[in-house]
Structure 1
Amino acid sequence: MNGCRFAPNYSGFVSSDYSARHLSVLEGLEAVRKRPGMYIGSNGSRGLMHCLWEIIDNSVDEALAGFGDHIEIVLHADDSVEVRDHARGVPVDVEPKTGLSGVEVVFTKLHAGGKFGTGSYASSGGLHGVGASVVNALSERLDVEVDRDGKTWAMSFHRGEPGIFDDKGKEPSPDAPFTPFENRSELRVVGKVKKGVTGTRVRYWADRQIFEKGATFNVDDLQGRARQTAFLVPGLTIRIDDERAAGVGDAEVTHTEFRFDGGISEFAEYLAADTPVTDVWRVTGSGNFTETVPMLQANGAMVATEVERTCEVDIALRWGTGYDTTVRSFVNIIATPKGGTHQTGFEQGLLRVLRSEVEKNSRRLKAGNDKVEKDDVLAGLTAVLTVRLPEPQFEGQTKEVLGTPAARNIVGKVLGDALKERFSSPKRDDKAQTSLVLDKVVAEMKSRISARAHKETQRRKNALENSTLPAKLVDCRSNDVAHSELFIVEGDSALGTAKLARDSTYQALLPIRGKILNVQKASVSDMLSNAECASIIQVIGAGSGRSFDLEQARYGKVILMSDADVDGAHIRTLLLTLFFRYMRPMIEAGRVYAAVPPLHRVVSINPGSKPNDVLYTYSEQELQGVLTGLERSKRRYQEPIQRYKGLGEMDADQLAETTMDRRHRTLRRVRVEDAEMAGKVFELLMGNDVAPRKEFLIDNSDRLSQERIDA
């Protein structure tokens, strides 16, 4: 900060000698430095991001209160981060109880702030008054500038201690000489602003004595959280500038900006990856409750007082054709990933209404006497649940679980009343959509019951007990699941060769005919009625969808073995779609593989009676490299080069050596690093919507080598 000048003396400042002053400021913050995990979760990248969001949330709370609609976040090249807003600005006047300026109170005192029911905020994300002070305690340097009252006020801190950094006209740095205040703190005036201009800028350098060496700000996580916040606060613009890579090679500053005016309805549409069964239903309402809280009296005493609270509820929900559930819950725009009383009320209200509606329509739905369970109702549901209430009770500073008991009943009642009204609505559109929801819930219930019965009968059996498995399964002899392998083989011709090539002790074979059903487009019932899909699920023996139990899987590895051509790649993609949608734990556990058969067989001719060498190549580029190497060493090879069009063209010895023998084969393990992103890719490539897929193929056509296409 430039142009440092001393502000007028504050009459309320307390004088003391330097050492005592030093201890009085750090006595609370020292606990933060000793046990940072208690306040920010960890001292790794997660904790680093938590600190940043403590500062950002202060600006977001201002926007929620109606002050400021623009927040800027800058990741500087020197590993510092800056947050700017145009809200009211941190108070700069003297807080009478401490005799300190509002800026120093906010950034040095735990459990101090404007969010304890003083009327500054009706609802906010920062509730414990420790966010800014915790970040300050865990920062090697923190600078704050406040535009207020026609002036720019500034203050700097070193690991929580207020003082002055001597930057000597250079860029601010935590390594600059630091002089702590000895007798009194000074809030400096460093400039002037136009009348009515207000805002706060906070820049800090995380303390590397606290955080792990590899801890970094993850821009993807930051963008995801910023996007989420922009959805939750309609009309708020959040801009992220990443300057860290600027000047390195051709890299430039990256700018990302988020603004959404549709609120959580738009958020639900963004989160949903499957084809919709219903439109986004919006539910709003509120409820009052009383609670007893300790209130600070004028004499400094804490007195238990009963206060009236209002809990506002806003929900957006829609059902899709899939079975995955995405429910995001928030309290005062703070995410509660582990749920809490509000999410419990949401699930109970949803289940209560849909159970009642299924019972009313049981004859039409042919539901019988079976009871709908929570998983049946949540299948295919995408929902965003937000509640706003003053001083919610969270479990810990990380605010991952809401504990306010009254929220459960209020959310359940608001949602229940709205759903009852929609299900009894005479409007044609409402009737059509509610009917589809009931059909889906009952279909999920029947599928769950069927899958459970199927799973109970499909346990690992020996060869004599194997009568319930498909006749075309060629099982292995071993009962050791960890070392057994199931090869899903394309076609009967390849099956014949694979039978001779396999090790029957631990390798089982299941042939499929042609291309299986594209389950991304099909319903659950269509998938279960498809012979090939049903056989695969039956042979693996762990159920499907929500009832899938990884521990019951009959094989340690599932290996997809298809031809090395376009049709083979398509079959492999269809099989992976089946596993991703209905047996995803197999992929997540790293138990699904793709075999890598060779494309070419090169016979290198040796002189005399020495046996010829056989070389296998797996790409056109590798083939050319092998041939070039043979020519350079003046070795001959048989022509024409054998090009495998399918697995059936291989001899058993060749298939065993290249694709099935554990000593020589190559397998590709199928992984899911980001399930949400993978789901969107599957929907793009395998879903019903043709236009985005066509656009994707056209845009990426130049990245495909013609040599990879079998003409």
Structure 2
Amino acid sequence: MNNIILFVSCLALASSALAADETETEFHYVTGAYADPSKWSSVKQEWKICGVGKRQSPVNLSPKVARLVHNSTALIQTYYKPVEATLKNRGYDMVVSWQEDAGKLVINNTDYKLIQSHWHAPSEHFLNGKRLAMELHMVHKSADGHLAVIGVLLREGEPNPFISRIKDKINSIADILQGEASIGKIDPREFGWDLTKFYEYRGSLTTPPCTEDVIWTIVNKVVGTVSRQQIDILVDARRAGYETNARPAQPLYKRMVYLNDQSTISASALTPYLRLYSRLMASRPRLFSNPLSPSLHRHSSSLSSPLFSSLTPRVNVQLTKVLSRGLIQRNAISTRSFMSSTISTEAFQESATSKGYSSEQIQVLEGLDPVRKRPGMYIGSTGTRGLHHLVYEILDNAIDEAQAGYASKVDVILHADGSVSIMDDGRGIPTDLHPVTNKSSLETVLTVLHAGGKFGGTSSGYSVSGGLHGVGLSVVNALSEALEVTVWRDGVEHKQKYSRGKPISILTRSELPLESKGTKGTSIRFWPDKEVFTTAIEFDHSTIAGRIRELAFLNPKVTISLKREDEDPEKSQCTEYFYAGGLKEYVSWLNIDKSPIHDVLGFRKETNGASIDVALQWCSDAYSDTMLGYANSIRTIDGGTHIEGVKASLTRTLNALAKKSKTVKEKDINLSGEHVREGLTCIVSVKIPNPEFEGQTKTRLGNPEVRKIVDQSVQEYLTEYLELHPDVLDNIVSKSLNAYKAALAAKRARELVRSKSVLKSSSLPGKLADCSSSNPEESEIFIVEGDSAGGSAKQGRDRRFQAILPLRGKILNIERKDEAAMYKNEEIQNLILGLGLGVKGEDFKMENLRYHKIIILTDADVDGAHIRTLLLTFFFRYQRALFDAGCIYVGVPPLFKVERGKQAHYCYDDADLKKITSNFPANASYTIQRFKGLGEMMPEQLWETTMNPETRILKQLVVDDIAEANMTFSSLMGARVDARKELIKNAATRINLQHLDI
């Protein structure tokens, strides 16, 4: 893999402390001292901090020790141009000296001019525990002496183009102290970094005097490599004794590391505003004379427009306000962060001509390049969800064939080598020559964005489909290291291979044998690109199985199989999914562990070219609703007009029928939607010719006409059915009335929660040990079991960003309680107030959440597991958005401590214990301590094993399948024992009896 990692460090220099720095020729490594950097502190008094400092650099960086945030303290933009440069041998490294006008970094509206660059081999910083082949530093300096250093980590591989260019110059001054050579005009942008995603931590200079006033910022970007020969050239050019010039990694101690992601802001988010400003510029030309804040350009590297070089400060302020509102709504950017980075006096001082805006700055991305450059725009993310989205894109195409009536069988195979195959028995993708692209239609849909047969109209290949933008198959191709496609059509087998969006073989055609002439369909097999999916490269069988189960329920005439291959063929598994009952069977499956008060209701209706399919059922032992919406078999997790239509119709229809039947006698009672839907499981699926989805990931349906169609259809069906079945109506209305009465009882408790503002320290739970930080993004809270564990955690924590909330025993199981009982419970109130969760049923506001990491930390025993499950049930039922926001974590404490001499090892399960002890000599003497609870651990032990961000194990919990999660919580925590027995029985094959606490 060709990787490059980018660092930026900002250093506030004290003139008295730093008489010499990396920009001065008199600064050098002390002969003999560098071989043992631990001796630096004894060389000079002013270097003492090198040995005793707690914030030293470099360090080992990895996602494991970092907190993900989406805005940064360092707002960075670069402006560079080609200038004359000189190469100089300083003995311990090679330095490129740039002319003063080479360019600059702009950080928080402060300019840092580029002055020099140099190399370290091997790298100074570690990535994921590994030191890389080389690190390049680009040193910038502000007018008041502050430094900003960009560092680039290169892996060993292909030759680096820049070093190849200056190789002869390096050799010409090799081993010549202070030797110089002109290297001509060099463009600093040749190093090719991208300041959109980076780590950040507080550290020091990596060379004496090791001053601890450095903010290191590290950005990941796949760019290039350096060859072994080039490394040797640079190393050999140094003077004797400097074969290495990289300091070892230093301990993190209790420092925080952040992984800042600013890549969510894109040109597409600003497009409507740019159009508005273009019209403004045309109609009010006198307003445009001065430049816009350069820090605004930082938000999208692709924003290059004359408009941004001709705005007066007055227009700039107004424009910034509009931009900030739009960006905040679309990308959840901090208002304070955005406004502070744009509205400032310094921001308006840049001249329009210094931007260097010309045709050279216009980038044209051709073919599938936009997908590889910004994959998140097309699949949502490059993590686990984005990886599985690739499977869904191909799977949805196969289902489209089935919905059109051309396919009845879909096969999915998870291969042992990490690839996925999806086959259908549909018509097969056309392979004839396309009249526009002059390529085969197969190659066209695989290599051209917005090419497909689902755009609607008379020429469309589908009347109803989930894929509408023509990007699904081409996006999968672009983000795959390899892709193989096979089409069976008209008695011919067609094959072609691709790599990263480009064909690497011609389209081959071979006649099928006579007995296979009738074979038809398409097979796609792809290998996800590890350069794109760097954090998630393994498909999860259960996640894909959940999606396939959904599709089988939604398409009752289609059989879908899922096979998981294993290197041992006997261990391979294959499951078929076929549900003739459709959505009714889906609702029954969801409510299998509940107590329904009537049979599943449901209907299917065709109207105005749309197909409406609805199934619903109320349960007596459920106190929340489950509403699932689908549009053309695509799960709309954020709802949409079809869900709104069902909700409106249910509320209006049931109120009307209840009063008509005089089931509700009180004139002043009007059942709200919340009362009517309590205990309801409802699934609505619409299939329409032209669905309007929000975004390529299709999370919400926007067609306004769908609401009216669904509303009327549900009203007609429910009115007719419930008038014919008054007993069912009585049961539903009785359930709703109970919800209404419980809501009145809960109202007082809710008002109590509202009155206790989380902004007032006096309202916080008394046992809460809060952290000193007021920034929720860097704050985390540990929910611990009892005062004993709470005491150790409070002593062992880092008070700057870690809060502790001890619980008293087991909290209420809200799966079996109504809201009134929930709000009256003291421990539940403490959780709501301490975390800032707001009131159930109201829109969740992330800005009110007091901690963005909520860590459940319980004992590693049965009681601890029960408390953990109770808490997860509470979070899932009370504020499910916490899972969507990635705020819920589970801490993993060790079970054992093994001591042998002065060495201590912590083991998290029996396998760890066996692995550690098996490495000891047969006659070794050691002790094993089993932790019965967190309260037995000393504060230092708890910090070292469970709370230290650098060494702890945290498991982030997300909900990929709400329906299955809902069923699991109901089975585990509901009133029915039979459901729990069935769940345990089904999971028995995955349980190791040795892990049971019996």
Match of 1:455 in 2: 754
CA distance in 1, matches of 2:931, 2:440: 79
Is residue 796–residue 942 contact of structure 2 (8 Å, CA) maintained in 1?
no
Q: Deviations over 1:264-295 (max 9, x none)?
A: 2222344458735554331333432xxxxxxx
| Per-residue deviation, 1:598 | 9.5
Give the whole-Å Cα distance in 1 for the aligned partners of 2:697 and 2:876. Answer: 32
Once residues 35 and 634 of structure 1 are traced to their aligned partners in structure 2, the CA distance between those partners, rounded to angstroms, is 61
- The aligned counterpart of 2:424 is 85
> 2:264 corresponds to which residue?
none
Amino acid at match of 2:629: S
Give the TM-score normalised by structure 2: 0.48
- Show the counterpart of 1:330: 630
Residues paired across the two proteins, number? 609
Q: Deviations over 1:376-417 (max 9, x none)?
A: 655554332211233444456554444433222111211233
Aligned pairs (5 A) from 1:624-703: 671-674=956-959, 676=962, 679-694=966-981, 699=988, 703=992
Quick check: 1:408 aligned with 2:729? no
- Aligned match of 2:683: 384
Q: Judge conservation of contact 2:376–2:382 (CA < 8 Å) in 1.
A: no
Deviation by residue 1:587-640 (Cα, 9 ceiling, x = unmatched): 8765787797999999x9xxxxxxxxx9999999989x99xx9x98999x9xxx
Distance 1:668 1:63 in 2: 45
Decide whether aligned partners of structure 1 residues 489 and 366 sit closer, same or farther in structure 2, where only a CA change above 3 A counts: farther
Equivalences for 1:513-592 in 2 at 5 Å? 517-530=812-825, 533=828, 537=832, 542-543=837-838, 545-547=840-842, 570=866, 574=870, 577-582=873-878
Q: Please tell me whether the aligned partners of residues 489 and 510 of structure 1 are also in contact (alpha carbons under 8 angstroms).
A: yes
- Whole-angstrom distance in 2 between the partners of 1:408 and 1:684: 33
In the alignment, does 2:359 pair up with 1:63?
Answer: no
Deviations 1:523-576 (A, max 9, x none): 333334556655665676745533476766788998989888766665565455
Q: Which residue of 1 aligns with 2:615?
A: 316
| Residues 360/545 of structure 1: CA separation in 2 closer, same or farther (3 Å cut) | farther
Please tell me whether residue 73 in structure 1 is matched to residue 412 in structure 2.
yes
Task: Check whether the contact 2:447–2:474 (CA below 8 A) recurs between aligned residues.
Answer: yes
Compared CA separation, residues 451 and 287, structure 1 to 2 (3 A) = same
Assess if the C-alpha contact under 8 Å between 2:483 and 2:527 holds in 1.
yes
Pair 1:343 & 2:643 matched: yes
After superposition, the Cα gap between the structure-2 partners of 1:277 and 1:551, relative to the gap in structure 1 and judged at 3 Å, is farther
Q: 2: distance between equivalents of 1:38 and 1:399?
A: 13
Q: Provide the C-alpha distance between the structure 1 equivalents of 2:851 and 2:483, rounded to a whole number of angstroms.
A: 56
Evaluate the alpha carbon distance shift between residue 461 and residue 597 of structure 1 in structure 2; reply closer, same or farther with a 3 A threshold. farther
Letter of the aligned partner of 1:68 in structure 2?
A
Structure 1's 196 and 429: CA in aligned 2 closer, same or farther, altered over 3 A?
Answer: farther
Q: Supply the distance in 2 between the matched residues of 1:175 and 1:123 (Cα, whole angstroms).
A: 33
**Quick check: 1:557–1:593 contact (8 Å CA) kept in 2?**
no
Contact 1:455 1:542 in 2 (8 A): no
Conservation of the 8 A alpha-carbon contact between 1:495 and 1:511: no
Counterpart CA distance in 1 for 2:468 and 2:943 is 60
Q: After superposition, what is the alpha-carbon deviation per residue over 1:401-434, rounded to whole angstroms, capped at 9, x for unaligned?
A: 4443322211121123333444544432342134
Counterpart in the other structure of 1:300: none
- Tell me the distance in 2 between the aligned counterparts of 1:484 and 1:129: 42
Separation in 2 of the partners of 1:564 and 1:49? 32
CA distance in structure 1 between the aligned counterparts of 2:641 and 2:489, rounded to whole angstroms: 40
For 1:268, the aligned partner's letter is V
Give distance in 1, aligned partners of 2:661 and 2:504: 72
How far is the alpha carbon of 1:199 from its aligned partner? Answer: 0.9
- Matches of residues 373-522 of structure 1 in structure 2 within 5 Å? 380-395=679-694, 398-440=697-739, 443-444=742-743, 447=746, 450-459=749-758, 461=760, 473=766, 490=786, 512=808, 517-522=812-817
Q: Which runs of 5+ in 2 are unaligned?
A: 1-363
CA contact (8 A) 2:693 2:700 kept: yes
CA distance in structure 1 between the partners assigned to 2:604 and 2:479 by the alignment: 40
Identity %: 30
What is the aligned counterpart of 2:594 among 271, 275, 278? 275
> What stretches of structure 1 of length at least 5 have no aligned partner?
1-28, 163-173, 181-186, 289-309, 605-613
Name the aligned partner's letter for residue 496 of structure 2: S
Task: Give me the whole-angstrom Cα distance separating, in 1, the residues matched to 2:783 and 2:431.
Answer: 71
Aligned equivalent of 1:35: 370
Quick check: 1:125 aligned with 2:466? yes
CA–CA separation in structure 1 for the residues paired with 2:794 and 2:382: 53
- Is 1:257 aligned with 2:576? yes
Whole-angstrom distance in 2 between the partners of 1:40 and 1:496? 45
Q: Distance in 1 between matches of 2:392 and 2:793?
A: 59
**Pair 616,236 (structure 1): closer, same or farther in 2 beyond 3 Å:** closer
SS of the residue aligned with 1:35? helix
Cα separation, 2, equivalents of 1:496 and 1:58:
53
Rounded to whole Å, the distance in 2 between the matches of 1:661 and 1:138 is 40
Shift of 1:233: 1.0
Q: Which amino acid aligns with 2:492?
A: T
Distance 1:287-1:569 versus aligned 2 partners, 3 A rule: closer
* 2-structure distance, mates of 1:322, 1:357: 23
> Matched residues in 1 for 2:415 and 2:790: separation?
63
Q: Which amino acid aligns with 2:562?
A: I
User: 1: distance between equivalents of 2:417 and 2:891?
Assistant: 44
User: What is the aligned counterpart of 1:201 among 522, 539, 542?
Assistant: 522
Change (3 A) 1:436 1:277: farther
* Alpha-carbon distance between aligned partners in 2 of 1:707 and 1:56, rounded to the nearest angstrom: 39
Instruction: Please state whether the residue corresponding to 1:546 is helix, strand or coil.
Output: coil
**2:79 maps to which residue?**
none
Once residues 628 and 570 of structure 2 are traced to their aligned partners in structure 1, the CA distance between those partners, rounded to angstroms, is: 35
Partner residue, 1:7:
none
Match of 2:814, SS state, is coil
**Closer, same or farther: CA 592–31 of 1 in aligned 2, 3 Å:** closer
Q: Separation in 1 of the partners of 2:523 and 2:827?
A: 60
2:488 is the counterpart of 1:192: no
Contact persistence 2:559–2:577 (CA under 8 A): yes
What amino acid is aligned across from residue 265 of structure 1 in structure 2?
A: K
Contact 1:376 1:445 in 2 (8 A): no
Q: After TM superposition, give the deviation of residue 228 of structure 1 in Å.
A: 1.9
Measure, in 2, the Cα distance between the counterparts of 1:153 and 1:201.
Answer: 10
Rounded to whole Å, the distance in 2 between the matches of 1:237 and 1:407 is: 28
Conserved in 1, the CA contact under 8 Å of 2:641 and 2:702? yes
Asked whether the 8 Å contact 2:875–2:882 carries over to 1, the reply is: yes
Given that residues 488 and 558 in structure 1 are in contact (C-alpha distance below 8 angstroms), is that contact kept between their aligned partners in structure 2? no
1:230 maps to: 552
Are positions 1:287 and 2:607 aligned together? Answer: yes
Given that 1:89 and 1:198 are in contact with CA atoms closer than 8 Å, whether structure 2 keeps it comes out as: no
For the residues of structure 1 that align with 2:974 and 2:551, how far apart are their CA atoms? Answer: 29
1:155, 1:188 within 8 Å by CA — same for their partners in 2? yes
Question: 1:134: how far off?
Answer: 6.4
CA distance in 1, matches of 2:947, 2:440: 73
Instruction: Please give the root-mean-square deviation of Cα atoms over the aligned residues, in Å.
Output: 6.0
SS in 2 for 1:72: strand
Partner residue of 1:144? 486
Q: Which amino acid aligns with 2:611?
A: E
| Distance in 2, Cα, partners of 1:346 & 1:384 | 9
Does the 8 Å CA contact 1:423/1:434 hold for their aligned counterparts?
Answer: no
